[in-house]
Chains A and B, each alone.
Chain A
Amino acid sequence: MGVLVNLLDYLVLLGTMVGIAAYGMWRTRGRNSLSAYLKGSQTAGWGTIGLSVMATQASAITFMSTPGQGYESGLGFVQNYFGVPLALILVAAIFLPLYRRLDVYTAYEFLGRRFDAKTRLLGAALFLLQRGLAAGITIYAPAIILSTVFGWRLDVTIVLSGLLVIAYTVAGGSEAVNLTQKYQMAVIFGGMVTAFIVLLIKLPSWLTLTDALTVAGGFKKLEAVDFSLDVHRRYTIWSGMLGGLFLSLSYFGTDQSQVQRYLHGASLRESRLGLMFNGVCKIPMQFFILLLGVLVFVFYQFERPPVYFNEAAWNYQARHGAGAQLHAIESDFAAVHARKQRLIRAWLDAKHAGDEPAEAASRAAAQAAQARSDVLRADARAVIQRADPQTSANDADYVFITFVLDHLPHGVIGLLVAVIFAAALSSKASELNALGSTTTVDFYRHMLQREASDAHYVAASKWFTALWGVVALAFALFAHLVENLIQAVNILGSIFYGVVLGLFLVAFFFRRVGGTAVFWAALSAQTLVFVLYFTLTISYLWYNLIGCAACVLFGLILQALKGPDDQPAEAPATP
C-alpha cells in the first residue's frame, strides 16, 4: 500500500464526522425539559425514525465485517435477518401502541405499570448490565481494525471518537442522537453506493455483470437461501426466521437503545411507519452489503489479493521469524491465483461459445484451484497465529478496508472511513442515550430523587450519560484483555436477552400473571440460564429461546401455585 490516506481523505473524514456532530449539538441546544431531552421534541417523521432505528442497529462492524462475510461465505448470512420484518410487525402492532399510550420514557416503565416496581427494576437492571458491559465494544471493535490498518495509535483513536460521541449525546440528548443519525446514515448510504459503483467500474471491462454473477455462483457465493433442516448448519431459512424472530423481537421490542428511537416520533403513525420502513429495507440492505463483498471476491479473481488481509500482522510476522514460511505460502498462492485466472477465462469463454463440456471442465478446475487457495490462506493464518497467538485468525474483517485502501481513489477512501466512523458513532450514541435515560428514569428518579424539577433530571441525565460514556471508553481501552471480544459480548447478550423478552411476553400475553410471580420466574429463569451456560456446550444462541421460554413457563406455574397477585402496580410517573 502506498500513502493510505491523504489530506483530501482527512478533510472528507473530519468534515463529515465533526460537521454532523457540531450540527446536532447546535440544532438541539437549550433542551431543558426532561421530555425533550429523553424523547426529543416528538416531532420526528417516519423517515427520521426509520433511519435512526436502522443506524442504531448498524454498527461499524456491520460495514467492515459483512462484506468480509460475503467474500468468505457468500450471501447465506442474509438469512440471519429473515426474522426482522416479522418481529417489526409484532413490535409495531403490539409493543409500540402500549408504550405510546402510557407515554413512558423507558420500556421498563411499562413493566412497572403492568406489574410492579421490583419487576421494573429487574428489567432495567438486566438491560444496564448487558448493554453497559457491551458498551465499550462499539468503540473498540472499529478502532482496533482502523488503528491496525492505518497505523494510528489505538488509545488515541478510541478516546477521540469516544469523546466526540459523548459530547453531542450529552449536549443534545435523544433529539441530537436522532438528528445526527439521519445525516450519518446519509454518509453511510452515499459511501456504500459509491464503493459499489467504483467496484463495478474496476471489474475487467470484458466481464459483464452476468459473467461476474456466474463466477460468484460457480464458487458458491450466491447461495442465499438454504432450505436444509440440518440444525448444525449455521444459517438456514428456518434458523433465520425462528431464531431471528426471537432475537429481533427482544432487540427491537425491549432494548431501550431501540425503544427510545421510535418513542421519538411525532405520532404513533410516524413511529409505526418508521419501523415498517426498516421491515421493508433491512433484508435488501443486508443483501446489498453482502453482494458488495461477493463482488469484491469476483474482483480479486482478476487482481491478486493478499494471502492474509490483515497486512500489518502479515508484514510484522514476515519480518520477525515466520518470514520463510510466509514467503513460501505467498509464492504458491501467486502461482495458484495465476492458474485460476486462466481457468476462469477459459470457463467464461466456453460458456459464451455454448461449449458445455469445456465449460464444466474449466469450472471444476477453477473450483479446485480456489480450494487450493483456501488451503494456503488457512496455512498462512495458522503460521501467523502460531507466531503470535494474540492475532485473530479471522481476517475477514480486513477484506473490505483492504480493498478500499488499495483500489479506491483518495476522497472516496476518506468517505468510506467516514462510513465506518459514522456507523460506530451512531450506534454508540443510541447506547449511551439509552443507558443514561434508564439510569435516570428507572433508578435515580424512581428510587433516589422522586420530586425534583425537570432541569434537575436533565442535569442528572447528562451526568449519567457522560458517566456511561467514560465507562465505555475505559472498557474499550482495556478491551484487549478479553479474549475474543465480540463473541464474548454476543454470549453476554444471549444470556440476558431471553429472560428480558420473557418478562415482556408475559406482560403482553398472559394477563393473569402478576408481578411477584413473573419477578421470581425471571430470577429463576436467569439462574437456570447461568447454570446451563456453565454446564452445557450448546450454541449460545439457544439461550435466547431457553431464557424466554423458562421465564414464561415459570411465571405461569408460580402464578398458578400462588393464586391472585397482591402487589400494587405503579402509578403513572409525573414528568
Chain B
Amino acid sequence: MKSAEQKWSAVAAAPSGPAGVDEGPGLPWLRTWRRVYGFVFAGFVLNVLLLALLSWAFS
C-alpha cells in the first residue's frame, strides 16, 4: 500500500511516452515555455489596456 504522497510521486515521475516528451516551443524570440506564458500574459494585459483606452476615449 502506498501513501498519498507516494502515489503522487509515482504519477509525477511516470515514464513519459512519446506523447509526453517535453520539448521547447521552438518559436523565434520565445525559446522557453516561460517566455511563451509571459507573452500570452502580456497579450492579456495589452488587451485590457486597449479596451480600457477605448472605453475612456469614447466615454
Q: B25 to A273, Cβ gap below 8 A? A: yes
Q: Is the interface of A mostly helix, strand, loop or mixed?
A: helix
CA distance A103 to B11 in the complex (A): 11
Q: B7 to A225, Cβ gap below 8 A? A: no
Q: A89 to B41, Cβ gap below 8 A? A: yes
A534-575 interface mask toward B, CB cutoff 8 Å, 1 = contact, 0 = none?
A: 000000000000000000000000010000111111001000
Q: Is the interface of B mostly helix, strand, loop or mixed?
A: helix
A512 touches which of B4, B37, B39 (Cβ 8 Å): B4
- B1 to nearest A CB, angstroms? 5
Q: A222 to B33, Cβ gap below 8 A? A: no
Q: A511 to B4, Cβ gap below 8 A? A: yes
- A45 to nearest B CB, angstroms? 12
Q: A residues within 8 A CB of B10?
A: 569
Closest residue of A by beta carbon distance from B7:
A569
Q: A78 to B51, Cβ gap below 8 A? A: yes
CA distance A517 to B54 in the complex (A): 50
Q: B37 to A89, Cβ gap below 8 A? A: yes
Q: A564 to B3, Cβ gap below 8 A? A: yes
CA distance A224 to B41 in the complex (A): 19
Q: A283 to B47, Cβ gap below 8 A? A: yes
Q: B51 to A512, Cβ gap below 8 A? A: no
Q: A residues within 8 A CB of B25?
A: 269, 272-273
B48 touches which of A222, A225, A569 (Cβ 8 Å): A225
Closest residue of A by beta carbon distance from B27:
A273
- A: contact size bracket: 35 or more
B41 touches which of A85, A214, A567, A568 (Cβ 8 Å): A85
A79-108 interface mask toward B, CB cutoff 8 Å, 1 = contact, 0 = none?
A: 000100110110011000110111100000
Q: B residues within 8 A CB of A216?
A: 58
A95-130 interface mask toward B, CB cutoff 8 Å, 1 = contact, 0 = none?
A: 001101111000000100111000000000000000
CA distance A110 to B20 in the complex (A): 14
Q: B58 to A213, Cβ gap below 8 A? A: yes
Closest residue of B by beta carbon distance from A110:
B11
CA distance A75 to B47 in the complex (A): 13
Q: A102 to B11, Cβ gap below 8 A? A: yes
B1-38 interface mask toward A, CB cutoff 8 Å, 1 = contact, 0 = none?
A: 11111011111101011111111111000000100110
Q: B residues within 8 A CB of A92?
A: 33, 37
Cβ of A361 within 8 Å of any chain B Cβ, yes or no, is no
Interface residues of A in 237-293 (CB under 8 A from B): 237, 267-269, 272-273, 276, 279-280, 283-284, 287
Cβ of A190 within 8 Å of any chain B Cβ, yes or no, is no
Q: A82 to B44, Cβ gap below 8 A? A: yes
Q: A residues within 8 A CB of B58?
A: 213-214, 216-218, 222
Cβ of A132 within 8 Å of any chain B Cβ, yes or no, is no
Closest residue of B by beta carbon distance from A114:
B11
CA distance A41 to B55 in the complex (A): 46
Q: B11 to A75, Cβ gap below 8 A? A: no
B20 touches which of A101, A217, A223, A568 (Cβ 8 Å): A101
Q: A287 to B3, Cβ gap below 8 A? A: no
Closest residue of A by beta carbon distance from B18:
A267
- A12 to nearest B CB, angstroms? 33
Q: B residues within 8 A CB of A225?
A: 48, 51-52, 55
CA distance A572 to B17 in the complex (A): 12
Which of A88, A565, A566 has most B Cβ within 10 Å?
A565
Q: A565 to B55, Cβ gap below 8 A? A: no
A320-331 interface mask toward B, CB cutoff 8 Å, 1 = contact, 0 = none?
A: 000000000000
Q: B48 to A237, Cβ gap below 8 A? A: yes
A92-B37, A511-B8 known; A568 and B19 CB under 8 Å? no
Q: A residues within 8 A CB of B47?
A: 283-284, 287
The 3 closest A-B pairs by CB, nearest first: A217-B58, A514-B4, A101-B20
List residues of chain A with CB under 8 Å of any chain B CB. Answer: 42, 75, 78, 82, 85-86, 88-89, 92-93, 97-98, 100-103, 110, 113-115, 213-214, 216-218, 222-225, 237, 267-269, 272-273, 276, 279-280, 283-284, 287, 511-515, 517, 559, 564-569, 572
Known: A113-B14, A279-B43. 17 other contacts (CB 8 A): A85-B40, A89-B37, A89-B40, A100-B20, A101-B16, A102-B14, A216-B58, A217-B57, A222-B54, A223-B59, A267-B23, A268-B22, A272-B36, A280-B43, A283-B47, A284-B47, A515-B4
List residues of chain B with CB under 8 Å of any chain A CB. Answer: 1-5, 7-12, 14, 16-26, 33, 36-37, 39-41, 43-44, 47-48, 51-52, 54-55, 57-59
Q: Could you show 26 A-B contacts with beta carbons less than 8 Å apart?
A: A75-B51, A82-B48, A85-B40, A86-B41, A98-B11, A114-B11, A115-B4, A217-B57, A217-B59, A222-B54, A224-B55, A225-B51, A225-B55, A267-B18, A268-B19, A269-B26, A272-B33, A514-B3, A517-B4, A564-B4, A565-B2, A565-B4, A565-B7, A567-B1, A568-B1, A572-B14
